[in-house]
Amino acid sequence: MALIDIGSQKQLFADDYLIESLSSTRQVVNAAEKVEQNPVVRQDRPWEGNHVCAKAVFFDAEEQRFKMWYTTYWYRVRREGDAIVVDEDFDEYAAQRLCLATSNDGVHWEKPELGLVEFEGSKRNNILPEACLTPRDFGSAYRDSDLLYDPHDSAERRYKLVMTVYDNDNPGMKLYLFTSPDGFDWTPHGSTPVVDYAPRRGRWGPTHFMGWDPIRQCYAVHMENNQHFRGPLGKRVIGRAESDDFVEWTEGETILVPDAADAPDTQFYGMPCIVYEGLYVGLLWNFRVTNLTHHPQLVFSRDGIHYERKYVDPFIVRGSRGEFDCNNIYAHAPLVHGDRILTYYNGTNHRSDAQTLELGDKTTMAVGLAATPLDGFVSLDGVTGHPPNYEPYPRDIVPYSQAVTRGFRFSGSRLLLNMRAALQYSSAGPCDVRVEVLGANHRRLEGFSFDDADPLTSTNPAQVATWKGAADLGALQGQTVRLRFWFKNAKLYSFQFC
């Protein structure tokens, strides 16, 4: 009897769920590749100050274009005696504006003249009404906002904006909900917050709303679950809360904390997350306190609670000294579009007020973009060297790397492999991938052995595996099988039965 039934669900190699063994093979994070046009949205209008910060990026299927909501503001500091203080003329909270940018390809962006808000005597700008940004009647100091597109809700509430404010008289965080049919005209959900931690000084810090979770069938949010490191651990950690209606939320439960493998100064600042091919993919904001830098790490989960943190390499690498993203990368949740996964991020060349003072007019935040091929978060890569001979195979296949899956059942009649030719080791020759089908007892099934397998030699997101020219696996449906991948000079991203 099979332990796992995968049906026709695509299976990524990002976690160990289906991997039984690897030989001369390792799982490798594929850093998202930054586009040449970076930053894709920067401050170039008089009303945009020196900081442009993306709040949300969506693809509007009806209009067939990308839309980005972003905030702009000035942030400058000055020296006052021995202290560095924020210049009152450039108070980021008071001066923030919410703006709109649009794009046909997600790379080249325009800032349309909306004619909605007057700036210095003219409405020829892309500024959205102030009601979108500031809860006018709540009497609290604005802090931050999170905006999302929610196709799970009704058309009138399709867009949601959650405003985080401070209660100046009783410090703590309050989250107010606004809804909109178009992302322009917003209606407050009453005058009371949907989350109120002010009375007990609270735990919620910077917050990322995932939206509807199709696996757990609820709304989900990930937050810094100790109000900016003021919890028992003295560190920023990640929590999760859930809701049936986006109004009543459970208490935040901590799900990720730095561990012994992390540097002592490591903290977790936030975690945008999506569900992708049955996996929760989180971009964990890894914050190093001593050198004041951020970068996102990939984490994966099957249940949304227990995350596997096995990859330490950044998913998006910070830029070189002097570039707009050399200090911090605040990544948004990945956006799947066409044959690519797009990850927008806010990059800064500063983190501390001391850095801001040193940079002066060069202080900046802008929006960058990094792209990944479909399923390409993590791949199986062959490693150099020669694995031991695997009897009863002959010596001429020794250079192959191997990956063997656990036993499973499937639905479908063909096997598709998402792979990429990667000529890394010239001594090993060209790309060559072959798939064996094994029984539950690891024995090769007749007609599906290494000798029967046709070599797959080129990059293809849906390469059909064949054995002596035949692709039909229908006779094996319902049986417990395993797959053994033999490969060299290739990256393996995923497989799927169809």
Reported as a single tens digit per residue, the pLDDT across 314-332 is 999 999 999 999 999 999 9
Q: Hey, what CATH class is 5-30+379-497 in?
A: mainly beta
Position 55, amino acid: K
> How far apart, in whole angstroms, are the C-alpha atoms of residue 331 and residue 295?
8
Structure tokens at 333: 């949740």
pLDDT at 1 over 60: no
- Beta-strand ranges (E) seen in 61-96 are 65-73, 77-80, 83-86
Q: pLDDT-based confidence at 210, cuts 50/70/90?
A: very high
- The Cα-based distances of 243 to 104, 218, 223 in angstroms read 34, 6, 14
pLDDT score recorded for residue 275: 97
> How far apart, in whole angstroms, are the C-alpha atoms of residue 190 and residue 167?
17
User: Would you say the C-alpha torsion 194, 200, 204, 210 has a positive or negative sign?
Assistant: negative
Q: Coil, helix or strand for 88?
A: helix
pLDDT score recorded for residue 385: 44
Q: What is the CATH number of domain 33-376?
A: 2.115.10.20
Residue recorded with tokens 């703006």: 99
* For residues 375-381, average pLDDT: 97
Position 351, amino acid: R
Say how many CA atoms lie within 13 Å of 285 toward its Cβ.
Answer: 30
Say how many CA atoms lie within 13 Å of 65 toward its Cβ.
Answer: 11
> How far apart, in whole angstroms, are the C-alpha atoms of residue 497 and residue 18?
14
Q: Coil, helix or strand for 318?
A: coil
Higher pLDDT, 264 or 396: 264
According to CATH, where is 2.115.10.20 located in the chain? 33-376
Residue 34, phi then psi, degrees to nearest 5 = -70, 140
Residue 475 CA, chain-centre distance (Å), reads: 39
B/e letters for 363-373, b = 16+ CB within 10 Å, e = fewer, are: bbbbbbbbbbb
Q: pLDDT-based confidence at 167, cuts 50/70/90?
A: low
> How far apart, in whole angstroms, are the C-alpha atoms of residue 123 and residue 129?
11
Q: Could you tell me the end-to-end alpha-carbon distance of the chain, in angstroms, rounded to an integer?
A: 22
Q: pLDDT-based confidence at 134, cuts 50/70/90?
A: low
Residue 273, phi then psi, degrees to nearest 5 = -150, 145
* For residues 286-304, average pLDDT: 92
Tell me, letter by letter, the H, E, C secondary structure of 425-452: CHHHCCCEEEEEEEECCCCECCCCCCCC
Q: What is the mean pLDDT of the chain?
A: 88
According to CATH, where is 2.60.120 located in the chain? 5-30+379-497
Residue recorded with tokens 């569900």: 275
Q: pLDDT-based confidence at 165, cuts 50/70/90?
A: confident
Q: Does this model's pTM top 0.85? A: yes
Q: pLDDT-based confidence at 17, cuts 50/70/90?
A: very high
Share of the chain above pLDDT 90, in %: 68
* For residues 110-119, average pLDDT: 95
pLDDT at 197 over 80: no
Structure tokens at 220: 């989900």
* For residues 482-498, average pLDDT: 96
> How far apart, in whole angstroms, are the C-alpha atoms of residue 415 and residue 442?
19
**78-82, 124-128, 244-248, 373-377, range with the lowest pLDDT:** 78-82
Contacts of 361 (CB under 8 A, 6+ apart): 50
Q: pLDDT-based confidence at 361, cuts 50/70/90?
A: confident
pLDDT at 65 over 80: yes
- How would you class 400 by CB atoms within 10 Å of its CB: exposed for 0-12, middle for 13-18, buried for 19 or more? buried
